[in-house]
Structure 1
């Protein structure tokens, strides 16, 4: 019971963030670090949850965020509501294993019902599929801080995902934050864009716009190294010292000459490119940038076809990449390098603009959720209606199924069905509606065969969520129900919490003297006739 009560307290914290009218949480952590968010996973991560059972809810929110990207608040609410509905059975003496067994049966039935009801888009044309994905992304953004710009950002998310290859790797979409400007100034780059790295002397003499460049990607340093080792070199005349100095310069110049010989006119390196190399490249009308992050270097490789080199020896023309245009532009207060019109652009970059840094950070989290949802929709190719419609339909079907079962299972599955109503109820409460009235209307609509009836946030009532284009990926609902049921069953299966005692190390005996003898005497830990150590009498 204490475990369930702890989880209930945690659910009360995030429940008000659900839905388009959900509220945000301002979380103050650290000295001056502030996060404003209504994303369930973000809030759960930042909360300092000490209770071991409640920590399970943090884990399922993280797993939902990693697997699907959205539905993190829903999964916590459903899990806690399932525990809440199980409390009366436990109090009346029903064995927890009976509840767990029937809960798992109900979850399996829900999976089957979702598969039956899911609307497949596999046979749709590309234009229809794109339109559907945009609506799915808009639904994911309805409850976010950038809901007023959801049309612009939903299309950005869809175009970014569609520019990826069949693996749909999330790290191939780079999201960059630039403080200043309006949200409408955010843009999608079908290619690579990253902030100008630290630059040495001679950087301003380099070209800032190169059509059809040849791009060389490196993972090595191009600068003179100061030898700080304790090696000792003995020389007999000054000319030998000069030969050592000349060798250092010869090594760096040989590297630079080999790079120039490849014909590349854009050089990017993950490690530093020093002032000597920067000026050397500037004199030959070549652009270079060092200390480029590994993530940006990988995306540049994917977009331009260049291969990352760890040596300057034998760089073949096939190892170089190209794009339609390279340019360096001012974005807000920052300088950015753009690689656009890439021949095999399997990557994309999104530059987010806005006022406060907290606002841009929340916009990035919202966009990340939308991108993840679109990725899952592209892979899964099936959607269901949101706005609480799918939960109410599952609840209705489970109630009908429970009437075919005799014994305790009938009541337990009926309780599972009632727990699913927490989503439309919370949506109504967060919008300021009468939740009881809305739920009564929804039950009546679903029992008369109106499958996609959901909460109408705009007009305070019931609407056809499918016609309103409130769509969500079917695998998001399946994953949420699975994770919530497993977390609930895990906590219900705990009958006692035991704190493992920590092993206490005996203090080391003092060296020499009587104390040392006393430490070696038998029976020193007390007992009959034993001698207690000093300080413990």
Structure 2
């Protein structure tokens, strides 16, 4: 089983085959070990067999040189369909092989394969799966006032934050008792500080705000009143994919927010897919 963690990052498929193959090799080697054959001789024989296998594979291999994009695409679809033949989705391999190839080819040469996100949704059929040319992630928790905000934008400008825009919550049914003006002023100042931060975000020109940390009800209502969409507690993976796809930078302070650090995409919408709502950024 130690083969699997090394095999998957390198090849990505064939984990069952490699385990069965390794088990069969050990089965064939066992009699020689019992007869006292030195391990070095056994290892030398295995390495010799490996070389013979590599020579045979190179002999059978088909060289791919100077193909047109259409021919290359058709070959990749065949390869993807072959890899899916032993999976649970083998009956829909024609459908998913085209989707997989389209996803890989849509990546820029400098972008790694982990930029392709896979989101699983309960319910519906396999053929209802779709490829989003951009970024999509599940809707995060939202406070009251969120429903007032628009759910779609054209020429979207995105503020990516690692800032908490929320007043610290107390325990359930907690109350604050203030016995002097100074204590009351501290409460007002805390809320005012949040409003100052949201004001600077609004002045930057952003109309979609994504933050890794919570965005409270005060900030949510502020953004909704100004026709801005916001989402807090966005997963780090989704925030980084959005940054790489749409540009911009993740900011840790509102003081440096300006149009140059905002991400951009042609279209944003929040849409119901199956039993979940998703935030979708297209044509980044």
Do Structure 1 and Structure 2 share a fold, with TM-score over 0.5? yes
Query: Aligned residue for 1:253?
Result: 195
Q: Aligned partners of 1:121 and 1:167: how far apart in 2?
A: 22
Asked if 1:275 corresponds to 2:225, the answer is no
Comparing 312-321 with 237-246, greater Cα deviation is found at 237-246
Q: CA deviation at 1:108?
A: 2.6
- Cα deviations across residues 468-519 of structure 1 (Å, max 9, x unaligned)? xxxxxxxxxxxxxxxxxxxxxxxxxxxxxxxxxxxxxxxxxxxxxxxxxxxx
Q: CA deviation at 1:194?
A: 1.0
Query: Aligned residue for 1:51?
Result: none
Query: Aligned residue for 2:25?
Result: 82
Cα–Cα, structure 1 residues 85 and 129, in superposed 2: closer, same or farther, change >3 Å?
same
Structure 2 unaligned residues grouped into runs of 5+: 172-177
2:237 equivalent among 295, 299, 304: 295
Q: Aligned partners of 1:169 and 1:296: how far apart in 2?
A: 15
Larger radius of gyration: 1
Q: Aligned partners of 2:8 and 2:110: how far apart in 1?
A: 19
Q: CA deviation at 1:81?
A: 1.6
In angstroms, what is the RMSD of aligned CA positions? 2.0
Q: CA deviation at 1:85?
A: 2.0
- Cα deviations across residues 90-133 of structure 1 (Å, max 9, x unaligned)? 44443332222121122133234433432232421111111111
Secondary structure of the residue aligned to 1:178 is coil
Secondary structure of the residue aligned to 2:238 is helix
Secondary structure of the residue aligned to 2:19 is helix
Query: Aligned residue for 1:107?
Result: 50
Q: CA deviation at 1:167?
A: 4.5
- Cα deviations across residues 142-178 of structure 1 (Å, max 9, x unaligned)? 0111111101101111111112233552321111111
Q: CA deviation at 1:293?
A: 0.5
Query: Aligned residue for 1:216?
Result: 159
Cα–Cα, structure 1 residues 103 and 260, in superposed 2: closer, same or farther, change >3 Å?
same
Query: Aligned residue for 1:383?
Result: none
Q: CA deviation at 1:64?
A: 1.1
Q: CA deviation at 1:88?
A: 3.5
Asked if 1:129 corresponds to 2:72, the answer is yes
- Cα deviations across residues 253-275 of structure 1 (Å, max 9, x unaligned)? 11011011001111011110001
Q: Aligned partners of 1:127 and 1:315: how far apart in 2?
A: 44
Cα–Cα, structure 1 residues 90 and 248, in superposed 2: closer, same or farther, change >3 Å?
closer
Q: CA deviation at 1:334?
A: 1.2
Comparing 68-77 with 141-150, greater Cα deviation is found at 68-77
Q: Under a length normalisation based on structure 1, what TM-score does the superposition of the two structures give?
A: 0.50
Question: Matches of residues 34-433 of structure 1 in structure 2 within 5 Å?
Answer: 58-167=1-110, 169-226=112-169, 238-342=180-284
Cα–Cα, structure 1 residues 300 and 241, in superposed 2: closer, same or farther, change >3 Å?
same
Q: Is the 8 A contact 1:221 1:272 kept in 2?
A: yes
Q: Aligned partners of 2:111 and 2:219: how far apart in 1?
A: 37
Q: Aligned partners of 1:242 and 1:98: how far apart in 2?
A: 83
Secondary structure of the residue aligned to 1:295 is helix
Q: How many residues align?
A: 278
Q: Aligned partners of 1:291 and 1:267: how far apart in 2?
A: 11
Q: Is the 8 A contact 1:161 1:168 kept in 2?
A: no
Query: Aligned residue for 2:175?
Result: none
Q: CA deviation at 1:248?
A: 1.3
Q: CA deviation at 1:226?
A: 4.8
Q: CA deviation at 1:206?
A: 0.3
Q: CA deviation at 1:246?
A: 2.8
Q: Under a length normalisation based on structure 2, what TM-score does the superposition of the two structures give?
A: 0.91
Query: Aligned residue for 1:434?
Result: none
